A and B are shown apart, each in its own frame.
Chain A
């Protein structure tokens, strides 16, 4: 497929567990974004990569959230010691370099029990 791929589609974890969410962007897309979408809300920015460089992480809600993109393609969003308020859909988007719209993956729906 040519689109942004995210896995897993659904993740259920117990409070306190660590989780890792994966994003495989469109081939050749330099920019990669992570967003968090709560029920009934628009997506909210978490962090942004240009190739392997994390240029903006101002949206990460706490130091329990960590993202990486070590080779400039696949990215992983990790949440440590999960809390119930972390329950949301986590969306990944990618775009070609400069002045191009972002395209979203199907998201990972995270539920913390």
Chain B
């Protein structure tokens, strides 16, 4: 069974600090990796996606992928109170359109 594991948190960081969110997955065939942000009562919003080993940066966000360790992370630099949300890690096993397998999410709280 394909599984995606995340620490449920809450992860609390002070404003301006770096928040580090981690995710592991069980299926070695996974090829595409996504981070979604979900505010309470709202739908998941795509933040980052990464397909290759290494780092991918977009503004304050950096996604890191290590396929050998089956590990993907999201770093948020200069954390803001508005970043407080649940962050969902999702993977799929093909590069095309296949269902995503989600983790349970990590709740992030940025303290002003």
Contacts and interface: CB of A to CB of B under 8 A. Distances in A.
Interface of B: 4, 32, 34, 36, 42-46, 49, 88, 90, 95-105
Contacts of A35: 100, 102
Contacts of A44: 102
Nearest to B8: A40
Given A42-B88, A104-B44, A95 B97 contact: yes
Given A42-B102, A43-B100, A43-B102, A101 B44 contact: no
Interface string A70-95: 00000000000000000000010001
Interface of A: 30-31, 33, 35, 40-45, 48, 50, 56, 59, 91, 95, 97-107
A82 B34 CA distance: 32
B37 to A, nearest CB: 11
A67 to B, nearest CB: 13
Contacts, number: 59
A106 B99 contact: no
Contacts of A99: 32, 95-97
A45 B43 contact: no
5 contacts: A31-B97, A35-B102, A43-B88, A45-B100, A56-B99
Contacts of B101: 45
B42 A42 contact: no
A59 B4 CA distance: 16
A98 B97 CA distance: 5
A101 B96 contact: no
A35 B92 CA distance: 14
Contacts of A106: 42-43
Nearest to A105: B43
B105 A50 contact: no
Given A91-B44, A101-B49, A105-B43, A48 B102 contact: no
Contacts of A56: 98-99
Contact of B43 (A42, A50, A91): A91
